[in-house]
């Protein structure tokens, strides 16, 4: 039998090999859990190996040393080469394979086809008629045209009902007139809009006979297909550098009374007839499908970002030695410190949890998508509630985890050589895009308040909120749990979420009864409402984790996942325990029990720590991190990495002659006086 940890190679740093030899599970079998099948895990590695054989697909130099223009160019260069090899490298109908290819070759900072793949094609698939698909979708899939999704404006992103871009129907010519009447109405932010794309699905407020029908989607050609010059009545450009994503040309767009044919409105579900008659869609929010598509996939991308930074931090912590636990022994790996373990291991568990919750979400999304094709919309509300809560909670917790990973690497974590700061910048965009987190928590809260009302009226609720009508224990039985049974933990999470949901509900009802208008009462309760949404979502994540562990057959994998789940439940419960202490559901003694279980878990995870992160099978090429190198040889490579700095091209920089020398000369002269 070979090594259980599949990353062991001759010549690796002995400290990291020592870690890998301790693995109690097969890391490639664990990858099958993370990526949802052994085949998917195999394919990732096959794609990485194939990419490594194509020299033009390697980074020309470490990305942090590139200017913004070079980053944009480098991503486009690779997309060009990828286009030639695409069919040999991946199954182009498999989103996970494409995403992996993107991560290995290009990385998270963006590429000209990102929004094309993530939103433009999905919006056409969901909202275009067959005729429209023939005209644009098939060309888009062959990359004859490149598009984006242009919705957000300088003045409005969250409140779609107030988008200022108008699409006014002109019955006489059977055209829509698209117009950006103000500075704030300019589209602002859409990815790849600035320089890369020649088409966009523009979301604009539909006006027919002076009546406002709200946001609708329109296909707009932005640039000439040959010269790439902006077409008449269109101003388009890049919005400038951002916190991260700087290989992406997020753009602005001003439409000056641009006329497009009536048939450019995406009309699969909704219609404007020649005479201006408006035909409603089966569900008012069907046109929001592209956003729901991205939200449904965000758990997995966030899990990936979190796992990437933890891979870097845990591997580095296993070769970084500093300080003593026993003064008579050599300096220890920093991974031995309980504080380091407490800083990193709960986030490893979260990365796994997000991936499992993500798999369930994508399954529901696929079902709803299929239903919608035939006009069936019953599950749309459930999906919207679930994805709204998850996108908010998962992006926020990912942000916390990545920052802890960075800090756990000490000074070198702050260097771009760790690459963690770039991953952080990319990941935290997710707190904002696809619906600002608070806004989306409040969307989930609407759903929760409806469910709470039904329960108060004596009705039984089911599905995601079924626990609201289930029996509840006054006191948690958490310290009377047989080992490896998580029911009492999950019941405690249920209790906490239920209490908070009803607390918010009662507060809202009280204000409404006192005569406050609904929107004002809602605003005055909104902090309580967002708390309810977070607790409900964290319950879902814990349940999804437990469901996955329950389903695993392989004994060693199950045991290893069980250890992570145990850590997860205790850590998360401590994080939200104040809610259960308030009403005496948990007592002080039980808090001690949870704490001691948490510390026990850290010890149990420790020997497998490197293997838990190795199981994500993130290659050096995709991690782009000196600290996270698979072989553990960090220090000599840190020194090599610094040689890329353009400041090192000469021993003496011109600034010395220009500024520093005169400064020192004059100081010396003065001190002689
Ligand atoms: C060569 C090959 C190479 C290969 C390489 C290939 C490359 C490929 C590789 C790619 C690499 C990856 C790169 C990734 C890059 C990152 C991408 C980042 C993208 C970021 C994009 C964006 O950032 S894009 C803009 C998103 N911008 C929002 O996200 C706005 C939020 N704002 C709202 O979304 C609405 O404004 C908001 C709040 C719902 C209120 O909407 P509203 O006012 O209309 O509605 P109300 O609030 O009044 O609600 C009325 C009732 O509607 C219900 N409802 C609402 N929505 C519903 C829904 N969707 N489904 C069902 N029901 C829904 C609600 O629950 C109520 O129900 P009830 O009445 O029963 O309670
Ligand atoms: C990296 C990145 C990529 C993007 N890509 C695209 C793209 O491809 N296409 C596109 O169309 N857009 C894109 N966007 C825009 C993005 O979708 C919006 O910025 C996002 O939806 C937030 O909207 P906003 O900017 O209007 O925030 P605002 O709504 O102005 O948020 C500001 C504050 O107001 C609060 N707030 C707003 N409304 C409420 C409310 N009702 N209740 C309580 N609090 C509220 C928010 O919580 C927040 O604290 C991108 C943004 C980023 C950062």
Q: CA–CA distance from 475 to each of 480, 538, 580 (Å)? A: 11, 20, 9
The answer to whether residues 456 and 464 touch, using CB atoms and an 8 Å cutoff, is no
DSSP 8-state code for residue 335: G
Q: Please report the pLDDT score of residue 388 as a whole number.
A: 98
CA 383–ligand 1 middle distance (angstroms): 12
CA 568–ligand 1 middle distance (angstroms): 29
Residue nearest to atom 48 of ligand 1 (CA): 161
DSSP 8-state code for residue 55: G
CA distance 200 to 207: 20
Atom of ligand 2 nearest to the CA of 149: 9
CA 388–ligand 1 middle distance (angstroms): 9
Pocket probe mutation, ligand 1, options 192, 193, 288, 371, max atoms within 8 Å of Cβ:
288
Q: Which ligand is nearest to the CA of 445?
A: 1
Q: State the number of CA atoms in the 13 A half-sphere of 366 facing the CB.
A: 7
Q: Are strands 199-208 and 147-150 parallel, antiparallel or unpaired?
A: parallel
The answer to whether residues 622 and 528 touch, using CB atoms and an 8 Å cutoff, is no
Pocket probe mutation, ligand 1, options 381, 429, 444, max atoms within 8 Å of Cβ:
381
Q: How many other β-carbons are positioned within 10 Å of the β-carbon of residue 331?
A: 12
Q: Please report the pLDDT score of residue 1 as a whole number.
A: 61
Q: Which ligand is nearest to the CA of 100?
A: 1
Q: How many other β-carbons are positioned within 10 Å of the β-carbon of residue 634?
A: 24
Q: Which ligand is nearest to the CA of 295?
A: 1
**DSSP 3-state of 89:** helix
The answer to whether residues 164 and 188 touch, using CB atoms and an 8 Å cutoff, is no
Atom of ligand 2 nearest to the CA of 191: 8
Q: Please report the pLDDT score of residue 547 as a whole number.
A: 97
Q: In the chain, what is the greatest distance between 2 CA atoms, to the nearest angstrom?
A: 92
The predicted model gives 458-476 an average pLDDT of 94
- Say if residue 66 is exposed, middle or buried (CB neighbours under 10 Å; 0-12, 13-18, 19+): buried
DSSP 521-582: HHHHTHHHHHHHHHHHHHHHHHHHHHHHHHH---HHHHHHHHHHHHHHHHHHHHHHHHHHHH
Taking the domain 147-281, which CATH number applies? 2.40.110.10
The predicted model gives 299-303 an average pLDDT of 98
Q: Which of 188, 208, 211, 209 is nearest to 200 (CA)?
A: 188
Atom of ligand 2 nearest to the CA of 119: 8
Residue nearest to atom 52 of ligand 1 (CA): 285
**pLDDT at 59 exceeding the cut of 90:** yes
CA distance 188 to 253: 7
Q: Name the H helices within 8-94.
A: 14-21, 27-34, 38-52, 68-89
CA 5–ligand 1 middle distance (angstroms): 40
CA 400–ligand 1 middle distance (angstroms): 23
Q: Please report the pLDDT score of residue 525 as a whole number.
A: 98
The predicted model gives 460-468 an average pLDDT of 96
Domain with CATH 1.20.140.10 in the chain: 290-460+490-613
Q: Which of 246, 352, 295 is nearest to 118 (CA)?
A: 295
What are 447-456's pLDDT values in tens digits?
Answer: 999 999 999 9
Residue nearest to atom 42 of ligand 2 (CA): 439
In the annotated binding site for FAD, the residues are: 152, 191
The answer to whether residues 599 and 377 touch, using CB atoms and an 8 Å cutoff, is no
Q: Which ipTM did the prediction report? A: 0.97
**pLDDT at 569 exceeding the cut of 70:** yes
Q: Please report the pLDDT score of residue 2 as a whole number.
A: 85
Q: Which of 563, 580, 603 is nearest to 478 (CA)?
A: 580
What are 206-219's pLDDT values in tens digits?
Answer: 999 999 999 999 99
Atom of ligand 1 nearest to the CA of 290: 24
Which residues sit with their C-beta closer than 6 Å to ligand 2? 115, 149-152, 156-158, 189-191, 245, 250, 429, 432-436, 438-439, 442
The predicted model gives 567-588 an average pLDDT of 97
CA distance 409 to 420: 10
CA distance 236 to 230: 7
The predicted model gives 175-187 an average pLDDT of 98
Atom of ligand 1 nearest to the CA of 432: 23
What are 594-651's pLDDT values in tens digits?
Answer: 999 999 999 999 999 999 999 999 999 999 999 999 999 999 999 999 999 999 999 9
- b vs e for 124-158, b when ≥16 Cβ sit within 10 Å of the residue's Cβ? bbbbbeeebbebbbebbbeeebbbbbbbbbbebbe
Residue nearest to atom 9 of ligand 2 (CA): 190
Pocket probe mutation, ligand 2, options 114, 121, 189, 527, max atoms within 8 Å of Cβ:
189
The length of the chain is 673
What are 517-537's pLDDT values in tens digits?
Answer: 999 999 999 999 999 999 999
Q: Which of 112, 90, 109 is nearest to 100 (CA)?
A: 90
Atom of ligand 1 nearest to the CA of 439: 38
Q: Which ligand is nearest to the CA of 288?
A: 1
Helix (H) or strand (E) segment spanning residue 409: none
Q: Which of 439, 395, 155, 222 is nearest to 294 (CA)?
A: 395
Q: Which ligand is nearest to the CA of 83?
A: 1
Which residues sit with their C-beta closer than 6 Å to ligand 1? 79, 82-83, 86, 98-99, 101-102, 113-114, 117-118, 149, 151-152, 157-161, 191, 285, 288, 291-292, 294, 380-381, 384, 433-435, 439, 443, 446
Query: Any idea which residues carry the catalytic annotation?
Result: 434
Report the CATH fold assignment for 290-460+490-613.
Butyryl-CoA Dehydrogenase, subunit A; domain 3 (1.20.140)
Q: What are phi and psi of 254, to 5 degrees?
A: -120, 125
Residue nearest to atom 6 of ligand 2 (CA): 190
User: Rounded to 5 degrees, what angle do the CA atoms 334, 337, 343 make?
Assistant: 90
- How many H-runs (helices) and E-runs (strands) does the chain carry? 25, 11
CA distance 407 to 425: 15
Q: How many other β-carbons are positioned within 10 Å of the β-carbon of residue 627?
A: 27
The predicted model gives 65-93 an average pLDDT of 97
Strand ordering across the sheet containing 187-188: 187-188, 251-255, 234-238
The predicted model gives 538-567 an average pLDDT of 98
CA distance 395 to 405: 15
In the annotated binding site, the residues are: 152, 191
Domain with CATH 2.40.110.10 in the chain: 147-281
The answer to whether residues 41 and 32 touch, using CB atoms and an 8 Å cutoff, is yes
Backbone Cα Rg of the chain? 27
Residue nearest to atom 26 of ligand 1 (CA): 434
Residue nearest to atom 25 of ligand 2 (CA): 157
Q: Which residue pairs, CB below 8 angstroms and at least 24 apart, start in 125-129?
A: 126/268, 126/286, 126/289, 126/290, 126/293, 126/369, 126/372, 127/217, 127/266, 127/267, 127/268, 127/269, 127/286, 127/287, 127/289, 127/290, 128/266, 128/267, 128/268, 129/266, 129/267, 129/268
DSSP 8-state code for residue 230: B
CA distance 347 to 218: 42
The predicted model gives 563-584 an average pLDDT of 97
Q: CA–CA distance from 284 to each of 216, 279, 439 (Å)? A: 11, 11, 19
Q: Please report the pLDDT score of residue 482 as a whole number.
A: 75
Residue nearest to atom 36 of ligand 2 (CA): 439
- b vs e for 285-319, b when ≥16 Cβ sit within 10 Å of the residue's Cβ? ebbbbbbbbbbbbbbbbbbbbbbbbbbbbbbbbbb
Atom of ligand 2 nearest to the CA of 151: 11
CA 122–ligand 2 middle distance (angstroms): 21
CA distance 558 to 216: 48
Q: Which of 22, 571, 597, 31 is nearest to 345 (CA)?
A: 571
Q: Please report the pLDDT score of residue 480 as a whole number.
A: 87
CA distance 66 to 73: 10
DSSP 463-482: GGGGGGGS---SS--GGGPP
The answer to whether residues 241 and 216 touch, using CB atoms and an 8 Å cutoff, is no
The answer, as to whether pTM is greater than 0.95, is yes
What are 391-415's pLDDT values in tens digits?
Answer: 999 999 999 999 999 999 999 999 9
């Amino acid at each position: 039998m070979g090594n259980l940890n599949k990353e062991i190679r001759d010549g690796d740093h002995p400290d990291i090999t020592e870690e890998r030899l301790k693995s109690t599970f097969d890391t490639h079998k664990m990858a099958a859990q993370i990526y949802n099948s052994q085949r998917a895990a195999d394919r990732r590695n096959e794609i990485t190996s194939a990419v490594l054989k194509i020299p033009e697909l390697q980074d020309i130099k470490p990305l942090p040393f590139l200017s913004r223009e070079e980053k944009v160019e480098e991503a486009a260069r690779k997309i060009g080469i990828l286009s030639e090899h695409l069919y040999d490298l991946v199954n182009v109908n498999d989103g996970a394979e494409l995403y992996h290819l993107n991560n290995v070759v290009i990385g998270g900072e963006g590429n000209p086809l990102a929004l094309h793949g993530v939103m433009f094609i999905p919006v056409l698939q969901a909202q275009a008629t067959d005729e429209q698909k023939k005209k644009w979708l098939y060309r888009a899939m062959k990359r004859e045209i490149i598009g984006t999704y242009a919705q957000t404006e300088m003045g409005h992103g969250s409140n779609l009902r107030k988008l200022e871009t108008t699409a006014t129907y002109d019955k006489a010519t059977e055209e829509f007139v698209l117009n950006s009447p103000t500075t704030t109405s300019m589209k602002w932010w859409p990815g790849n809009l600035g320089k890369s794309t020649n088409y966009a699905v523009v979301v604009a407020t539909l006006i027919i006979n002076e009546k406002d029908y709200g946001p609708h989607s329109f296909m707009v050609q932005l640039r000439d297909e040959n010269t790439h010059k902006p077409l008449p009545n269109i101003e388009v450009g890049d919005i400038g550098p951002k916190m991260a994503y700087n290989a992406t040309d997020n753009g602005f767009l001003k439409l000056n009374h641009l006329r497009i044919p009536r048939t450019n409105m995406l009309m699969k579900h909704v219609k404007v007839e020649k005479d201006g008659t408006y035909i409603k869609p089966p569900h008012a929010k069907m046109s929001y499908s592209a956003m729901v598509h991205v939200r449904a996939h965000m758990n997995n991308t966030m899990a990936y970002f979190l796992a990437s930074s933890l891979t870097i931090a845990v591997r580095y912590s296993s070769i970084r030695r500093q300080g003593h636990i026993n003064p008579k022994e050599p300096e220890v790996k920093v991974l031995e410190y309980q504080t380091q373990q407490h800083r990193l291991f709960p986030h490893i568990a979260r990365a796994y949890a997000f991936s499992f919750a993500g798999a369930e979400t994508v399954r529901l999304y696929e079902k709803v998508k299929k239903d919608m094709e035939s006009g069936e919309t019953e599950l749309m509300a459930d999906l919207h509630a679930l994805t709204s809560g998850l996108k908010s909670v998962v992006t926020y917790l990912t942000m916390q985890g990545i920052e802890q990973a960075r800090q756990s690497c000490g000074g070198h974590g702050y260097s771009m050589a760790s690459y963690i700061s770039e991953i952080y910048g990319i990941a935290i965009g997710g707190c904002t895009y696809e619906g600002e987190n608070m806004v989306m928590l409040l969307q989930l809260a609407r759903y929760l308040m409806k469910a709470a009302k039904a329960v108060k009226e004596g009705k039984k609720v089911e599905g995601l909120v079924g626990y609201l009508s289930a029996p509840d224990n006054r006191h948690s039985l958490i310290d009377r749990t047989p080992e490896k049974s998580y029911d009492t933990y999950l019941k405690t999470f249920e209790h906490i979420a239920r209490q908070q949901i009803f607390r918010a509900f009662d507060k809202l009802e009280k204000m409404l009864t006192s005569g406050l208008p609904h929107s004002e009462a809602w605003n005055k309760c909104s902090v309580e409402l967002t708390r309810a949404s977070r607790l409900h979502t964290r319950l879902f994540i814990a349940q999804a984790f437990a469901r996955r562990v329950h389903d695993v057959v392989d004994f060693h994998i199950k045991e290893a996942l069980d250890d992570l789940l145990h850590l997860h439940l205790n850590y998360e419960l401590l994080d939200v325990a104040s809610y259960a202490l308030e009403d005496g559901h948990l007592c002080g003694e039980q808090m001690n029990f949870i704490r001691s279980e948490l510390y026990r878990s850290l010890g149990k995870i420790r020997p497998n720590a490197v293997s838990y992160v190795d199981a994500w099978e993130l290659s050096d090429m995709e991690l782009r991190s000196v600290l996270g190198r698979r072989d553990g040889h960090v220090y000599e490579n840190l020194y090599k990495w610094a040689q890329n700095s353009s400041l090192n091209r000469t021993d003496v920089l011109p600034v010395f002659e220009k500024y520093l020398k005169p400064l020192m000369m004059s100081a010396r002269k003065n001190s002689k006086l």
